[in-house]
Amino acid sequence: MEGEELREVMRRFPAPVAVVTTAVGGERFGLTVGSLVSLSLQPPLVGISIGKDSSSHEPIRRAGGWTASLLSGEQIGLAQHFARSGIPPIALWNGVDLRDGSRGPLVNDALAWLECRTSSEHDAGDHTIFVGEVESSELGRLGSGLVYRGGEYLPA
């Protein structure tokens, strides 16, 4: 099977959307992911898969932790904004409503937030799977979530 075949198959399956952020040396980094998964309740673990070519990959690795803002169905624009590549890190944050978290910025008006310490990393081809131990969580607004399906973001 080729990578494009797998991409086409997976586009048929809705994936929840979150913005993952971190901060290293006073610089913020962030990207949209469709790979946030719950892994364990005891201890509380979640996982994300980040492409090795992502500008956020090494900062997440160096920071030793990250945050996840679980986007609402009304935050399609934010998902698209953080999914663009090649934006200088400082420009990425212009006009984004956020607040500081212990592991990185938190996007306001999300459904919930997770702050995680990276407990392990696993090589996965052209990606790295980062397993995060959830240090804190917070519930946000009630509403529909955001999923990625068929190459577009949709409220769910």
Looking at residues 113-117, what average pLDDT do you find? 98
Q: How many CB atoms lie within 10 A of CB 46?
A: 20
Question: Does 98 have pLDDT greater than 80?
Answer: yes
What is the spatial distance between Cα 29 and Cα 88, in angstroms, rounded to a whole number?
9
What pLDDT is recorded for position 127?
97
Q: Could you tell me the two tokens for 27?
A: 């610089």
What is the spatial distance between Cα 65 and Cα 134, in angstroms, rounded to a whole number?
10
What pLDDT is recorded for position 91?
83
Q: What is the pTM of this model?
A: 0.95
Looking at residues 22-44, what average pLDDT do you find? 96
Question: Does 53 have pLDDT greater than 80?
Answer: yes
Backbone angles phi, psi at 41, to 5 degrees: -95, -30
- Letter for the amino acid at 54? S
Let me know: does 29 contact 55? Beta carbons within 8 Å: yes
Looking at residues 88-99, what average pLDDT do you find? 88
Domains of the chain: 18-28+37-143 (2.30.110.10)
What pLDDT is recorded for position 138?
98
The confidence band for 131, taking pLDDT boundaries of 50, 70 and 90, is: very high
Question: Does 119 have pLDDT greater than 90?
Answer: yes
**45-51 and 27-33 as β-strands: parallel, antiparallel, unpaired?**
unpaired
Question: Does 95 have pLDDT greater than 80?
Answer: yes
What pLDDT is recorded for position 154?
96
User: Residue 18, Cα to own-chain centre: how many angstroms?
Assistant: 4
